[in-house]
Structure 1
Amino acid sequence: MADTVTELEKTVLPLREIPGSYGLPLIGAIRDKLDFYWFEQVPKFYESRRDKYQSTVFRTNVAPGPPGVFNNPRVVMLLDQKSYPVLFDVTKVEKKDVFTGTYVPSTSFTGGYRVLPYLDPSEEMHFKLKLFCFDILGRCLHRFFPEFHDAISDCFSDWEGTLANDGRVDFTKALSTATFKFNVKAFIGRDPFEPGLNSIGPRGPGMTKTWILAQIAPISVVPKSMLPSKLLIPLVELVLHTFPIPFAFVRGEYEKLIRFFRTYGGELLDVAQTQHGIGRDEAAHNLLFITLFNSWGGIDIFLPRMLKRLGALSPEAQLEIAADVRRVRKAIGGINLKALDEMELVKSLVYESLRIDPPIPYQYAHAKRDLIVESHESSFLVKKGEMLAGYMPLACKDPLVFSEPNKFLPKRFMGDGKQLLRYVLWSNGPETQETTLRNKQCAGKHIVPLIGRLLVAELYLRYDFLKIGDDGMLTSLIPAKEKWVF
C-alpha cells in the first residue's frame, strides 16, 4: 500500500474510479464477445466504450480472450498515449504468458517449450534467449541486402508477368513467397525452397500460416464478408472461439518445419548451446518461432499494408518518394545501411506505416502491485494482479498527440516531426527507446523498419508509380524512365 500512496502523492490529476463493467457473470463475457467478433468488431468495439464512458481507460471483458464458454477475460483497457506505456514498464507489470492476451496456446505448438515472447524479463531463460536473438541478428545482418534484393526482384518479375497477362494481380501472394524465402535464407543461410534433405519446399509459406493460425484462431476475427449467412455465426463461434485447435491438426506441417531448422540451423544451435547455455532442442524451437512467427509473420502483415498505402498515393507523391531514393542512391553509389539512413522521406513514411498499421495490435500485462495509471485527464487505481490491455491502433491515433491522426501522412516524421517518434509503439516500446535484455521490446526492432525501407528503395529504383485499388489488387506498374542498379 505504501507504493500506491507514494504514486497518489505524485499525481496531479484527479483520481477517478475506472469506468466500465464486466456485466453479469458469464452473460457479460458472452455479450462482449459477440459484440467484439460480430456486432461491432474492431475498432468500433473499443471506440463505442471509450465514447460511452468518456474515458480512454475503462473495464471490459477483453476480446479477444481465452476460448471457452465459461471464461471471464476481464481487463482494464488503455487507449491513449499517456496510459499505454505502463504496458512496457516491467518494474510495474509482469509480461509472463500474455503474448496472446488472456489466452495461451498449448506449448505443443512450440515443441513443449514456452518460447521467448511468453517469458517475463525476470525469468532467466528470457535473458538467455533474447541474448541469443541479438547474436542471431548480428551474425545474419550481412545477408539482408543481397538476399532481399534477389527475392524481391523475383517478386517484381512475377507481378509484371501477371499484370501483362491479366491486367491485375493479387500482389500479396508473390510478396509473401519472396519474404518467406528472404527471411529464412537471411537467418539460416539456406534457401527453404531448394531441393535437398528436409527441404521445406514451395508449400512453406502456406504451412507456416496454417501453424500460426492454429495457435491464434481462438482469438481471430472472421470478416463478416466471409460468412454467406448470419446463421453460421453460432457454428463459427463453436468451432473457433470456444475450443482451442488441437496441435494434432498441424503436427505434420510443424514437424517438417522443425526438421529443416534442425538440419540447416546447426551453426546457430551450436552457438545457443556453447555460448548461451540453451539446449539444442529448445534453441531449435525458439529459432523457428523467431524466424517464422515473429519475424516473417510480422513482415508478412506489415509490408502488404504499407504497399497498399503507397499504391493509393498520387503519382506526384510517389515521384517525390522515388526522388528521395534515387538522390541518395546516386550520392552513395549503392543501397546500404548508410544510404537507408539518409532517405529522410522513406524513413518517415515507414514509421508512419508502423504508426497507423502496427503489425501486432494488442499488448497485455498483469499489474505487479497496486499502481496508478494516468490518462490525459484522470488517474486510476489498478489493483495488483489485474490485467491491463492496450489496443495500439487507437493509442497511436491519439488526437492529443497526432494531428489528423487517421490520415496517412508520409512526411509526418520529417524535420520537427522526429520528436513524435517516441509515440510510435509498434515494437512493444517507444521507437526512441532501445531494446535490452531486461525489457520486452522486440529484439528485432531495427529490422522491420530496415526491411520496410529496403522494399521502398527497391520499388522506386525499378518503378515510378504503382496503383493498388480499393479491392487490394495491383493494377498498374510504371517502370522508371531511368535504369537504376540496386
Structure 2
Amino acid sequence: MSSSSSNHSSSSKPNPSSKKTLPLRDIPGGYGLPFFGPIKDRRDYYYNQGTDEFFKSRMQKYNSTVFRTNVPPGPFMAKNPKVVAVLDAVSFPILFDNSKVEKKNVLDGTFMPSTDFTGGYRVCAFLDTREPSHAAVKGFFSSQLAKLHNKFIPTFRSSVSELFANLEGELDKEGKANFNHHSDKISFDFIFRLFCDNKNPDETGVGSSGPKSFDKWLFLMLHPLITLGLKFVPTFVEDFLLHSFPLPFLFVKSDYQKLHDTFDKYGSGILDESEKYGITRDEACHNLVFLAGFSAYGGTKVLFPALIKWVGAAGEDLHRQLAHEIRTVVKEEGGVTVSALNKMSLTKSVVYEALRIEPPVPFQYGKAREDVVISSHDSSFLIEKGEMIFGYQPFATKDPKVFDNPEEFVGDRFLGDGERLLKYVYWSNGRETDNPTVDDKQCPGKDLVVLLSKLLLVEFFLRYDTFSVEAATILLGPLVTVKSLTKAD
C-alpha cells in the first residue's frame, strides 16, 4: 500500500474501448448441483477462499473474466443465486446500460430485504428506470441536493471538527484511536444537519443513538451479504444464522420508527415539497430515511475509513505533498471554498484513487432485458434475456489491462494524462466522467461524495503533517486504528 510519483499516469495502455471484432465464446463456468452447488459456492466465497480469491480462482480456471457462478446468499434467501459475473473494465459497464439491463429489486443482488425496512415502500434504489415513480423520486431528491449545495462545506466543516478533537483525546488516553467510531458519529451529524435544517441531532428524539440505530437497521437488511469473522463461532453456525433466513424487522422496528419520526419532523423543509413531484409525504420520508441512512451514512461508513486507510498507509512523502498543496491553495484562496477544492489536483487524484482501489459499494447487479452480446478484452459472450449479471467492481477498477500496478495505491494516478482513466472509475454506478440523470441509476450524490472526501483530507492536512494507521477488515469495509497524529507547526 504505497504511493509513488512515477509515470503510472502517463504510460500507454491498450484502449479497451476500441472497436474490434471479437470471437463469440460460450460463457464458461456453471452452477453445480441444485441446492448443493450454491451452498458450496457460498462456503468458498465466505470461508474457504474469501471474496477476491473466489473470483480470482474462477477467472484462472476458466481463463475468462466473464463466467457463470452462484453468488450469496444462495438457497432459501435467494430464489435464484445464478449469475453471469463480469470482472473486467470492458464488460462491467453493461450494468450501466439501462436499455439492456433491468434494475428492479436488484440493489442487493439475488435477494431483496423486506419492504418492512422501508416503511412498506420500494424506495428509489429498488426501482427500475422504466418505472414511472423512479424519475419522480430521483428527480425530487436531486433537486433538493442542488438546493443544499451552499451548505455542504460549512456544515461538514462544523461536524468534522469534533472528529479530530475526539481522535486526539483517545490517542492521548489509549495510545491509539478507533477512527470508524468517531467517523460514524460525525457522518451522522453532518447528514442529519444537512437534511434537517442544521438541527443538532442531540436536541432531537434521535440524539446520540442515531448512528447505532442506522447500524442495526443496515445489519438486519444486509446480513445475508456479510460475514462477522468471529473466531469463537464455528463457520457453519454463522453461515446458518446469517445466510439461511431473513432476520425480522421486529428487532429494529422501534429504532426505525424513531428515525422516521425525527426526519419527518425536522426534515420538513425537504418533505413539504414532495407533492410537487407527485410523491406523497410519507413515501418521500421513507425515501429520505433510506437516502440518509443507507446511501449517505452507509456509504461514508465505508468510504471515510477506506480513504484514511489508504492515505495513511501511503506514507510521509504523499502526506507532505498533500499538506503543501492544501495549505498553499487555502492560503491563496482565503479559505476552504469550492474554488479552492477545485484547484487541489493532487487531492482530487488521491480521492479518485481511493474510490478506484476500494469502492464503497463493490457489487452491481442487473437483469438482462433481452438477449445481449457483451465483450471482455478478448471475447464476446451472449447473455440471454432474464439472466442476472453480476459485477464485482474492485476487479473491474483494478483491471491490469487498463491500470498500471492496479493493486498499488498511486496518489498521483489521475494527474495530467492520467485523467483520461477516470472513465474507468465506476464507484457511483456509472463512469466518473458521467453525470447522473433521472433516467439512470447513477448515484445522485456522486459529486457530493467526492466533495466530502476532499474536504476530509483538507481538514486532516490543515491540522496534521502526517499520521499513521493500522487497518483490518470488518463486515463490508475496513476498521481503521489511528496510531499517531503529528500536528502541523
Shorter-normalised TM range: over 0.9
Is the aligned partner of 1:440 residue 2:464? no
Is the contact between residue 195 and residue 270 of structure 2 (CA under 8 Å) also seen in structure 1? no
Distance in 1, Cα, partners of 2:79 & 2:42: 11
Is the contact between residue 29 and residue 72 of structure 1 (CA under 8 Å) also seen in structure 2? no
For 2:245, the equivalent position in structure 1 comes to 243
Is the contact between residue 355 and residue 393 of structure 1 (CA under 8 Å) also seen in structure 2? yes
SS in 2 for 1:478: strand
For 2:166, the equivalent position in structure 1 comes to 158
Query: Which residue of 220, 224, 243 corresponds with 1:218?
Result: 224
Report 1 or 2 for greater relative contact order, CA contacts < 8 Å, sequence distance ≥ 6: 2
**TM-score w.r.t. length of structure 1:** 0.93
Is the aligned partner of 1:29 residue 2:31? no
Kindly tell me: are residues 175 and 238 of structure 1, through their superposed partners in 2, closer, same or farther at Cα, counting changes over 3 Å?
same
For 1:270, the equivalent position in structure 2 comes to 272
Distance in 2, Cα, partners of 1:390 & 1:30: 20
Structure 2, unaligned runs of 5 or more: 1-18, 473-479
Deviation at 1:475, TM superposition (A): 1.5
Deviation at 1:271, TM superposition (A): 0.7
Distance in 1, Cα, partners of 2:228 & 2:60: 25
Distance in 2, Cα, partners of 1:288 & 1:44: 35
Distance in 2, Cα, partners of 1:306 & 1:80: 23
Query: Which residue of 258, 261, 277 corresponds with 1:259?
Result: 261
**TM-score w.r.t. length of structure 2:** 0.93
Q: Tell me how large the CA RMSD over aligned residues is.
A: 1.4
SS in 2 for 1:404: coil
Deviating above 3 A after TM superposition, structure 1's stretches of 4 or more consecutive aligned residues are 69-72
Deviation at 1:50, TM superposition (A): 0.5
Distance in 2, Cα, partners of 1:282 & 1:69: 26
For 1:120, the equivalent position in structure 2 comes to 128
Distance in 2, Cα, partners of 1:259 & 1:45: 43
Give the alignment of 1:113-152 within 5 angstroms: 113-152=121-160
Is the aligned partner of 1:204 residue 2:205? no
Distance in 1, Cα, partners of 2:139 & 2:94: 24
Distance in 2, Cα, partners of 1:123 & 1:342: 40
Query: Which residue of 51, 54, 66 corresponds with 1:45?
Result: 54
Kindly tell me: are residues 300 and 69 of structure 1, through their superposed partners in 2, closer, same or farther at Cα, counting changes over 3 Å?
closer
Deviation at 1:72, TM superposition (A): 3.8
For 2:476, the equivalent position in structure 1 comes to none
Residue by residue, what CA displacement relative to the aligned partner does 1:380-419 show, whole Å, maximum 9, x if unpaired?
0111110100000111000000000000000000000000
Letter in 1 for 2:226: S
For 2:360, the equivalent position in structure 1 comes to 359
Aligned residue pairs, count: 464
Distance in 1, Cα, partners of 2:286 & 2:241: 28
Deviation at 1:191, TM superposition (A): 3.3
Is the contact between residue 56 and residue 375 of structure 1 (CA under 8 Å) also seen in structure 2? yes
Distance in 1, Cα, partners of 2:200 & 2:94: 40
SS in 2 for 1:365: strand
For 2:9, the equivalent position in structure 1 comes to none
Deviation at 1:70, TM superposition (A): 8.1
Query: Which residue of 455, 460, 485 corresponds with 1:477?
Result: 485
For 1:280, the equivalent position in structure 2 comes to 281
Deviation at 1:119, TM superposition (A): 0.5
Kindly tell me: are residues 284 and 38 of structure 1, through their superposed partners in 2, closer, same or farther at Cα, counting changes over 3 Å?
same
Structure 1, unaligned runs of 5 or more: 1-9, 482-486
